[in-house]
C-alpha cells in the first residue's frame, strides 16, 4: 500500500517544512485541524455538498471518439474538469481549504497567484463564504492578466501588486508568506497547488483526489474496466495528483505527467522542473526545481501561464524517483496544435495547460492498438486563453 507522506510530510527525500519559526506554529495548528476534520462525516458532507451544488460535480467522462478514430490507435477519454463552475479543477481545492478556515474562525484569506486562475478561484469561494480576500500577484503578472484581475475585483477581492524581485509568481509567494507571518492569528493562507510546506501538498492532493475517485467508478461504467494510461498536465501538479492518487494502488494503470517544454528543453526556455530540473528548496518544501548551479531560481517559460512555475509538488518528485509515474514534456507549438485540433474535432476548447496533456495523449494513442484506453484529465476550459491563442495564431496559422 502506498502510504505517503509520513508524519513530517516527507515523500521519500522530498516535501517537509522549510519555514521560519513563526510559521512552524501556524502549520502545526493547521496540521491538527486537518487531522481532526479529514475524516469527519459532517466536514465531508459539507465538502461534497459544495462540490455538488456549487461546482456541479460529478464531472462527466467523455469519449473523444471522432479524434480516436482519426488517430486510428488507442481510445482517448476526457475527465471533464472544464465543466466545473469557474472552468477548472482549482475550485475543488479552494472549497476544502475555505471550509477549514471557517472551522478555525479565520475570516481573512490570502493567496498568491501567477496567471490569476488560483486568485479567481479563491476570490470566488471568499465571496461564497463572506471572507475578506487578499490576492498577491507580481506587478508584471498584473499587467499581463488584466481580465483575471477584473474578475477578482468583481468578486470582491483586493489585488496587491508585488513590486519586489522579478515581480512575478515567486515574489508574490514570498509576499504571501510575509503577510501570513504577520497576520497568522486571523488569516488563512490558501495554497493553489500540491506545493508549499507540509501539510499543504497532502491536503491539496486529498481535496483534488475527488477527480480520480469519480473516475474509478465512471470508467468501469463506461468501458467495463479501468484505463491503461492516466495522463495529466503538470504545473504545480494538483490536477495530476488529483487524478493519479486514487490510481496509485492500481499497478497496471500507467501514470504520465506532462510538463511544459516551452520553446524546447534545449533552449532553456521551458517550465519542466521534473524533466530538466534538480532537487532544491522552494516555497517551504524540497522538490525538483529549475535553478542554476548556485541554486538561484531561473526564469521559466510556457505559452500557458498556469504551467509557468519553477517548481513542482514534492509528491511528483517522489513518484518520478520511485518510478510509479513517468514525466514528459510538450512544447508550446505542439500544445497549440493539440488545442486547435481539440476545438475542430471534438467541439471542446481546452485550456492551454490541458492542451499539453492532450498533445501527448494523441502521440501515445498513435503507438497503441485500438483496444487500449487513455484517460486524460481535461483540467480546464480555454476561454481564458483566447487572447494568447489569437496572438499566436497570427503567426502559426
Ligand X SMILES: *Cc1c(COP(=O)(O)O)cnc(C)c1O
Rounded least distance, CB 287 to ligand X, Å: 13
Q: Quickly list DSSP for 104-121.
A: TT--EEEEE-SSSHHHHH
User: Distance between CA atoms of 47 and 41, rounded to whole angstroms?
Assistant: 10
Rounded least distance, CB 144 to ligand X, Å: 15
Q: Provide the 8-state DSSP code for 196.
A: S
Q: Which is nearer to ligand X, 5 or 380 (CB)?
A: 380
Catalytic residue annotation: 90, 112, 379
Q: Is 236 in the site for ligand X (CB under 6 A)?
A: yes
Rounded least distance, CB 241 to ligand X, Å: 8
Q: Is 349 helix (H, G, I), strand (E, B) or coil?
A: coil
Q: Is 353 in the site for ligand X (CB under 6 A)?
A: yes
Q: Which of residues 87-146 bind ligand X (CB under 6 A)?
A: 88, 90, 117
Q: Which is nearer to ligand X, 223 or 388 (CB)?
A: 388
Contacting ligand X (CB under 6 A), which of 75, 97, 209, 239?
239
Rounded least distance, CB 90 to ligand X, Å: 6
Q: Is 311 in the site for ligand X (CB under 6 A)?
A: no
Q: Is 73 in the site for ligand X (CB under 6 A)?
A: no
> Of 45-53, 209-217, 232-240, 246-254, which segment contacts ligand X by CB under 6 A?
232-240
Q: Which is nearer to ligand X, 168 or 354 (CB)?
A: 354
Round the CA-based radius of gyration of the chain to a whole number and report it: 20
Q: Is 230 in the site for ligand X (CB under 6 A)?
A: no
Q: Provide the 8-state DSSP code for 128.
A: H
What distances in angstroms separate CA 134 from CA 89, 93, 153, 155, 188, one per listed residue? 21, 17, 10, 11, 11
Q: Which is nearer to ligand X, 206 or 353 (CB)?
A: 353
In this structure, are residues 223 and 73 in contact, taking their beta carbons and an 8 Å threshold?
Answer: no
The Cα angle at residue 16 between residues 164 and 317, in degrees rounded to 5: 90
Q: Which of residues 370-389 bind ligand X (CB under 6 A)?
A: 379-380
Q: Quickly list DSSP for 298-347.
A: PP---SSGGG--S---HHHHHHHHTTSEEEEEEEHHHHHHHHHHHHHHHS
Binding positions for ligand X, rule: CB under 6 A? 88, 90, 117, 193, 233-240, 306-307, 351, 353-354, 379-380
Amino acid at each position: 500500500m502506498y502510504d505517503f507522506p509520513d508524519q513530517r510530510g516527507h515523500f521519500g527525500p522530498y516535501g517537509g517544512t522549510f519555514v521560519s519559526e513563526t510559521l512552524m506554529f501556524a502549520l502545526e495548528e493547521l496540521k491538527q485541524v486537518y487531522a481532526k476534520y479529514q475524516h469527519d462525516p459532517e466536514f465531508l458532507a459539507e465538502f461534497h455538498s459544495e462540490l455538488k451544488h456549487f461546482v456541479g460535480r460529478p464531472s462527466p467522462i467523455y469519449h473523444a471518439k471522432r479524434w480516436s478514430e482519426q488517430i486510428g490507435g488507442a481510445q482517448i477519454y476526457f475527465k471533464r474538469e472544464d465543466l466545473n463552475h469557474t472552468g477548472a479543477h482549482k475550485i475543488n481545492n479552494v472549497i476544502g481549504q475555505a471550509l477549514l478556515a471557517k472551522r478555525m474562525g479565520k475570516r481573512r484569506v490570502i493567496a498568491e497567484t501567477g496567471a490569476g486562475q488560483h486568485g479567481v478561484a479563491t476570490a470566488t469561494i471568499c465571496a461564497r463564504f463572506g471572507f475578506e480576500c487578499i490576492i498577491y500577484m507580481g506587478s508584471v503578472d498584473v499587467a499581463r492578466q488584466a481580465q483575471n484581475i477584473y474578475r477578482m475585483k468583481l468578486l470582491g477581492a483586493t489585488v496587491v501588486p508585488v513590486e519586489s524581485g522579478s515581480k512575478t509568481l515567486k515574489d508574490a509567494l514570498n509576499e504571501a508568506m510575509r503577510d501570513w507571518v504577520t497576520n497568522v492569528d486571523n488569516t488563512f493562507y490558501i495554497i493553489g497547488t500540491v506545493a508549499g510546506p507540509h501539510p499543504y501538498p497532502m491536503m491539496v492532493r486529498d481535496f483534488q483526489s475527488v477527480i480520480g475517485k469519480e473516475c474509478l467508478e465512471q470508467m468501469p461504467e463506461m468501458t467495463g474496466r479501468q484505463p491503461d494510461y492516466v495522463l495529466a498536465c503538470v504545473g504545480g501538479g494538483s490536477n495530476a495528483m488529483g487524478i493519479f492518487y486514487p490510481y496509485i494502488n492500481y499497478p497496471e494503470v500507467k501514470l504520465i505527467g506532462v510538463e511544459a517544454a516551452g520553446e524546447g528543453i534545449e533552449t532553456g526556455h521551458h517550465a519542466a522542473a521534473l524533466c530538466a530540473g534538480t532537487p532544491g528548496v522552494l516555497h517551504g518544501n524540497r522538490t525538483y526545481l529549475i535553478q542554476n548551479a548556485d541554486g538561484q531560481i531561473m526564469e521559466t517559460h510556457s505559452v500557458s501561464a498556469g504551467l509557468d512555475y519553477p517548481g513542482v509538488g514534492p509528491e511528483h518528485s517522489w513518484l518520478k524517483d520511485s518510478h510509479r509515474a513517468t514525466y514528459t514534456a510538450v512544447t508550446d507549438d505542439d500544445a497549440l496544435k493539440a488545442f486547435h485540433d481539440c476545438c475542430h474535432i471534438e467541439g471542446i476548447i481546452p485550456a492551454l495547460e490541458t492542451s499539453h496533456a492532450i498533445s501527448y495523449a494523441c502521440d501515445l494513442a498513435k503507438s497503441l492498438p485500438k483496444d487500449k484506453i487513455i484517460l486524460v484529465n481535461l483540467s480546464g476550459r480555454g476561454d481564458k486563453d483566447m487572447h494568447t491563442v489569437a496572438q499566436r495564431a497570427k503567426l502559426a496559422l
